Amino acid sequence: MSAQRQTLLEDRVYDFIRSHNLVPPGSRIVVAVSGGPDSVALLQLLYNLRNALEVSLVVAHLDHNLRGEESASDALYVAELSQSLGLPFAVGGRDVKKYRQEHKLTLEEAAREVRYQYLADVTAESGANLVAIGHTKNDNVETILMHLIRGTGTMGLKGLAPASCRECGEHRVKIIRPLLDISRDEIEAYCRNRGLDTRADSTNLSLSPFRNRVRLELLPLMRDYNRGIDKSLLRLAGIASDELDYLAQNRDQAWKKVVSRNGEIIVLEKSRFDSLHPALQRSILRQAVSEVAGSLKDIEAGHIEDILNHLDRGAGKQVEIKGGIIFTVEHARYLLARKGKSLCPYPQITGEFEIIVPGESVHGNWKVVTGIIKGNRIGDDAGLFTCYLDYEKAGPGLVMRSRKSGDRFVPFGMNTEKKIKDFLIDAKVPFSWRNRIPVIVSHEKIVWLAGYRIDENFKVTENTQNMLRIEIVFRSEDQG
C-alpha cells in the first residue's frame, strides 16, 4: 500500500480518510476544484490515492461570474487539468449577484449557497455519492474564530467536521474534507514540489469578505499575542466535539422521556424538561428546532437562548425565532412548530358522546378507556390525561363533550365553584385551545376537565370503596 502512496502527505491524507471512514470502497466522488492550491492539491492527492481507496473521481468547477476574464480563465484551467488526468469533469456558470439580490444575502452567503447547489446537481447527474472539498486546517481555525465572533454556542466551537451532510434544494449531499488535518503551508509546499501550476483568486486579497478580514487582519494580530493560537483553537474544537458527543448520548436518553409528537408539532413535557440540566435543555431544543425546521441553518445560539428565557413565562406566551419557528409555553408542556401551524395538540370535539364504563369508547380522534378498581389506592399513572375518581359518586353515566357557556366545577384542592372559562383564563390556556379541551360529565355535573383538574367533589378519599379510572387517548388531526 505504501508503494502506491508516494509521499508522506499522501500517507497522512489516506490515514485521515480511513480513520474517519470518509470514503467507502466503490465510492464515486465529485471533487470541487476552483483552481487554487487547496483544491488542486486535493484533486492530485485523491487521484494518486484512487486505487488504494477504490474510488472514481469527477471534477466540478463553478464560475461565479464575479471576476470576468479571470474566472473564465480559471474554468479553462480546471478543464485542461481534468483532461490531463483523464477524469470526467463538469464546468458550470451561475449568476451569483442575481441570486444574492433575489435572496437578500451577503455576497459570501450567496456564493456559498450557489456553489453547493451546483455541486449537488453534479453529484446527482454523475451518480456520485460524495463531494470532496479542499478545506484545510487553516480554514478550520478561521471558521472557529468566525463562529466565536458571531456569538456561537458550544456547537460552533466544533468548527468544520471531517464529514457533514447538507441540504441543497431537492438534493442532500454528503461532504467530506480530506485535507482538514493539513495546513495551508503544507499544501502550498506540496504543489511546489510536484510542479502543480495553480491559480490565484484576486478576491482572496480583498478585505470585504468577513473570512478574508479574519485571515488577513485578525489572526496575524492574535498570533502576536499567542503564537500558538491556531493550535489552541483547534484543541478547543476537539474538546468541544468530544463533550458534545457525550452530551448527545445523554440527550438521546432524555429525549425519549421528555419529547413526543402531535403531527408536525413537537411537545416537551414541562416538568421533566424543566428538571434537566441547562446543557441538556439546549441540546434537546437544538434537536427539536432542527426536526421542525428541517435543519439548523441560520439557527444561532442566541435563538436557543431566547427560547430558554421564555421557560418561566406564563402559559400562552410565545417566542418566534428565525425561520418562522414558534415556541409556545402551555400549562404543562412546551410546544414547537412552524409559524401558521395550529399549535393546539387536541383534535376537535364534535357534539357529545357516551363513555362506556368499563370499556373503550371511540369518537373521531378521541378514545376513552375506563375501568373499575377496588379500593382507594391511586395508581402511579395518574396525570394529565389519566384520572381516578370515586366510582360511587361519579357513577357509570358519563359523557364527553367540549365546554359550554356557564360550565362550572369545583377545581381539585378548592372549596368553591369556578367557571371553566375563568379557570382556563387563569391557567393562561390559549383561547383557540379552550373549545378542544375534553369535559367529562356525569349526570350534568362536571367531574373532570381533562388535562387540567378533576372536580373536588369526585376525588378519591379514604372512604372510597371503588375507583373509576379514566384514560383519554387522542390523535391530532395532523396525524390523519
DSSP 8-state symbol, 413:
T
| The total number of residues written for the chain in this structure | 480
Residue of 352, 346, 470 lying closest to 401 (CA atoms):
352
Question: Of 143-152, 313-322, 454-463, which has the strongest mean pLDDT?
Answer: 454-463
Show Cβ contacts of residue 296 under 8 Å, excluding neighbours closer than 6 positions: 286, 289, 290
> What does the alpha-carbon distance between residue 194 and residue 284 come to, in Å, rounded to a whole number?
49
Cα end-to-end distance, the chain, whole Å: 57
Q: Cα dihedral sign for 311, 315, 319, 323?
A: positive
Contact 5, 14 (CB under 8 A): yes
> What does the alpha-carbon distance between residue 77 and residue 199 come to, in Å, rounded to a whole number?
8
Mean pLDDT for 62-86 is: 86
Q: What is the pTM of this model?
A: 0.67
DSSP reduced 3-state for 45: helix
Domains of the chain: 8-230 (3.40.50.620), 263-338 (3.30.465.60), 353-479 (3.50.40.10)
What is the predicted pLDDT for the residue at 301?
A: 81
- Strand locations in 377-465 (E): 386-390, 398-401, 408-409, 418-419, 439-442, 445-449, 453-454
pLDDT tens digits for range 229-252:
999 999 999 999 999 999 988 999
Better-predicted residue by pLDDT, 348 or 463: 463
> What does the alpha-carbon distance between residue 163 and residue 17 come to, in Å, rounded to a whole number?
10
Strand partners, 336: 266, 327
DSSP 8-state symbol, 421:
H
pLDDT tens digits for range 179-206:
999 999 999 999 999 999 898 777 777 7
pLDDT tens digits for range 257-315:
999 887 788 989 988 999 999 999 999 999 998 888 877 776 778 888 988 988 887 76
